[in-house]
């Protein structure tokens, strides 16, 4: 059975850390998660594996996804903000735009994964939309969600237009008021 490459093991362990909503882990615990418990059957192999993991962790530090704090009694690995977004998305399939040529080359299982990823994205958007507008009946199903979003943007556009009209009217009235005051002040 082929072994999982070390880079993937490290990123998978950090992905699990982010998924569990933890941002800090000790280096020792991270090594155990990546390499398994230290059974000392082959110490040379273990040292070589730990060296590879350290090199990969240093690469992740240079990519600014994690920081390693060696000042504490135990060395701590902390996930940065860039790391949170990277590791949260690690392992998920890429989402292709409609009309992308790569969609034509996907197998049926890959297309199902693509559809599932799009469904999860839409459910996330739907959840956010319903948090702010719980009474919106169009947002209750994924099929009518695009219509609800379209209506929302049209309403937003109308409100922006009305707001700019009101600002222009206010500015006109303010200018007229200033002119009248200055004309009235110059007559005295």
- Quickly list DSSP for the chain: -PPPPHHHHHHHHHHHHHHTT--EEEHHHHHHHHH-----S-HHHHHHHHHHHHHHHHHHHHTTSEEEE-SSSS-EEEE-HHHHHHHHHTTSPPPPPTT-HHHHT--HHHHHHHHHHHHHHHHHHHHHHHHH-TT-SGGGSTTTHHHHHHHHHHHHHHHHHHHHHHHHHHHHHHHHHHHHHHHHHHH-
CATH topology classification for 6-89:
Arc Repressor Mutant, subunit A (1.10.10)
pTM: 0.53
pLDDT in tens, 29-86: 998 888 888 766 677 777 888 889 999 999 999 999 999 998 878 889 999 999 998 8
Q: Name the residue ranges covered by the structural domains of the chain.
A: 6-89, 140-187
pLDDT in tens, 121-164: 888 888 888 888 888 777 888 888 888 888 889 999 999 999 99
């Amino acid at each position: 059975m082929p072994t999982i490459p070390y880079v993937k093991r490290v990123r998978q362990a950090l992905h699990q850390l982010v998924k569990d909503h933890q941002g800090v882990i000790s280096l020792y615990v991270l090594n155990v998660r990546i390499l398994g418990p230290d059974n000392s059957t082959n110490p040379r192999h273990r040292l070589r594996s730990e060296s590879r993991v350290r090199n990969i962790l240093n690469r992740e530090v240079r990519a600014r996804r994690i920081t390693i704090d060696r000042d504490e009694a135990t060395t701590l690995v902390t996930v940065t903000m860039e790391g949170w977004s990277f590791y949260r998305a690690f392992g998920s399939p890429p989402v292709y735009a409609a009309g992308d040529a790569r969609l034509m080359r996907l197998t049926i299982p890959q297309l199902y994964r693509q559809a599932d990823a799009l469904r999860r994205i839409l459910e996330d958007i739907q959840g956010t939309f319903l948090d702010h507008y719980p009474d919106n009946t169009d947002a209750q199903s994924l099929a009518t969600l695009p219509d609800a979003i379209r209506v929302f943007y049209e309403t937003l556009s109308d409100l922006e237009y009305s707001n700019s009209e009101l600002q222009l009217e206010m500015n006109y009235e303010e200018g007229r008021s200033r002119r009248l005051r200055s004309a009235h002040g110059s007559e005295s």
